[in-house]
Each structure stands twice: as structure tokens, then as C-alpha cells.
Amino acid sequence: MAAKRLKDYAESDCREENKNQVMTLARELYMKGDTINKDALEKFMLFTNDLDKSRNQNFGKLYKEMTSLMEEDGMSWKSKTLYAA
């Protein structure tokens, strides 16, 4: 989905000087496929939740589309933190 969205963007609203970079990223995402590194995702959630606590934010609520897509794939956004209380 991300690769398609980037490709669509490159073909419509993207500034000419950025198209090559956007298309390169789209190709890399497409080649990566739909695999998920669960350990990396867990670390990302812990890091992000720690930041959220210090900034009084909530990534999971702010990026609801992403977390909903994760849930469809059986991965829910966890609210636990590593350092923040």
C-alpha cells in the first residue's frame, strides 16, 4: 500500500526534483514485500511510546490508519514503554 501511494504521488503532485527519490523509495518498499520484523516493530513501539510520554502525545491515536492496518495483520499497537513511567 505504501509503495502504491508513493508511486501515485510521484505521478501526480510530486515536485519534479523529488520524483526520482520518491520512486526509488517506492521500488524499495515494493521489493521488501509484506514481511514484518516483529522485533524491530516492538523496539519502535517502545521508543515511540517513551517519546509520547515525554511529549504528551499518542502515536497510536494520531496514526489510526496505520495502527488499524497493523491490527488487520494481527499486530496491535502496544502502549507499554521502556523507560517512561
Same domain, 28 and 46: no
Q: How many domains would you assign to the chain?
A: 2
- Terminal-residue alpha carbon distance, the chain: 35
pLDDT at 28: 95
pLDDT at 24: 97
Asked whether residue 37 carries a pLDDT value surpassing 90, the answer given is no
Domain-located, residue 20: yes
- Is the overall model pTM greater than 0.85, yes or no? no
Asked whether residue 16 carries a pLDDT value surpassing 90, the answer given is yes
CB burial of 37-64 (b: ≥16 within 10 Å; e: otherwise) equals: eeeeeeeebbebbeebeeeeeebbeeee
Domain-located, residue 80: no
Same domain, 7 and 25: yes
pLDDT range class, residue 36, cuts 50, 70, 90: confident
Chain Cα centroid distance, residue 61: 13
Domain-located, residue 28: yes
* Segments forming the whole domain that contains residue 23: 2-32
Domain-located, residue 47: yes
pLDDT range class, residue 27, cuts 50, 70, 90: very high
| Over residues 61-67, mean pLDDT | 92
Same domain, 62 and 42: yes
Domain-located, residue 82: no
Domain-located, residue 84: no
